Amino acid sequence: MDRFYPLIGILCDGRFHSGEELAAEFNLSRSAIWKQLKQLEQETGLSIDSVRGRGYRIAGGLELLNRESLMAHLEDHHVGCLEMVQILSATASTNDYLLENQESMPVGSGAVCLAEYQSAGKGRRGRPWVSVFGRNVMLSLSWRFQKPLSQLSGLSLAIGAAIAAALKRLGVEELVVKWPNDLHVERRKLAGILIEATGDFDAPSTAVIGLGLNISQRGMGEIDQPWISLSEILPVLPERNLIAATVLGAMIEACKQFDEQGIAGFLGQLEAFDGYRGKQVALDMVNKTVIGRYMGIDNSGGVVIDSEGRKQVFHGGEISFRVNNDEIT
């Protein structure tokens, strides 16, 4: 994938570039350029326009992630929290990148990894996270908490609420935090959060918090649930580097606040994004499924389900919504 990056770097301006120009630039034949462009399309999911007599282009252009721009959009006090900022053209998974490099990372500070493309992006419950090159935000933040591992439950909700509030500031309306780790708009998934935490039960812990946010996701056959992109919601899309910096800033702030206050500090915000209250749901857990009405989130971050007239709180599992017993998401 890295080998395509220079080619994408030229085509991302959205203008046509002739085969001759590209061949001269890379010291290759025109047919070798053509072959590379075909491979690039196949491997990245990007579509390249090819017009006889004009050349090749990425229609509409592509804004690549850029360190200077990202840092310029972050507030200074958030920049000060980050010891490492890594922007990769491709990696298997940004969460794995941080987990694998944890030993060499500075302790007691934040580290962030963003990638244009993930070849083995991970979702919750072993599902893949699929995304085309350069069109979305895939980022992971590694954060050291003073709280032990046992007190990190509820962190994904806190992060979800903070990201929802940040996206609202960018103009996204009707956002819902779907317990425990999704952001929805119009009952479709806009973003997902995957937290992988390590540490002893009575000592400081480290969490790698991964966020996948659809900005201009394109038809990707493998996604198994309804999804939506910011491009469908906002009339004018902000710069991708600005969106990435906005959500990253919100994640850093949420980590700091969560370490001090736990989930209690986010209950008010969660209430504001609790759009599914009263809906009929199924909560799937490892060995059972509970059917009932979703009644919100309790003050420990658990999900409250009203099943057969009895309210119960659960801390694990996954919710799907039902209409006439047909699963919709």
Q: Using CB under 6 A, which of 22, 65, 78, 95 touches ligand BTN?
A: 95
CB of 153 to ligand BTN, least distance (A): 16
Sign of the Cα torsion 202, 140, 188, 266 reads positive
Specify the residue, 94 or 241, whose C-beta has the smaller distance to ligand BTN. 94
Q: Which is nearer to ligand BTN, 33 or 159 (CB)?
A: 159
145, 262 contact by CB (below 8 A): no
Active-site choice (144, 178, 189, 240): 189
Smallest distance from ligand BTN to CB 87, Å:
13
Q: Give min distance, CB of 123 to ligand BTN, in A.
A: 3
Out of 124, 218, 293, 322, name the contact with ligand BTN by CB under 6 A: 124
List b or e across 125-151, with b for residues whose CB sees 16 or more CB atoms inside 10 angstroms. eeeebbbbbbbbbbbbbbbbbebebeb
* Beta pairing, strands 82-91 & 110-118: parallel
Residue tagged active-site, from 124, 127, 279, 293? 124
Annotated catalytic residue 38: no
**Stretch 168-227 residues interacting with ligand BTN (CB under 6 A):** 181-182, 192-194, 210-212
Q: Are 47 and 59 in contact (CB under 8 A)?
A: yes
| Of the candidate residues 19, 45, 110, 123, the single one contacting ligand BTN (CB under 6 A) | 123
Among 22, 45, 62, 140, binds ligand BTN (CB under 6 A): 140
CB of 127 to ligand BTN, least distance (A): 6
The window from 68-76, 136-144, 197-205, 315-323 that contacts ligand BTN (CB under 6 A) reads 136-144
Q: How many residues bind ligand BTN (CB under 6 A)?
A: 21
Q: Is 277 a catalytic residue?
A: no
Minimum gap (Å) between residue 197 Cβ and ligand BTN: 14
Active site (annotated) includes residue 57: no
91 touches ligand BTN (CB under 6 A)? no
Question: Which residue, 37 or 191, has its beta carbon nearer to ligand BTN?
Answer: 191
The residues that are catalytic are 124, 189, 322
Q: Which residues bind ligand BTN (CB under 6 A)?
A: 93-95, 118, 121-124, 127, 129, 138-140, 181-182, 192-194, 210-212
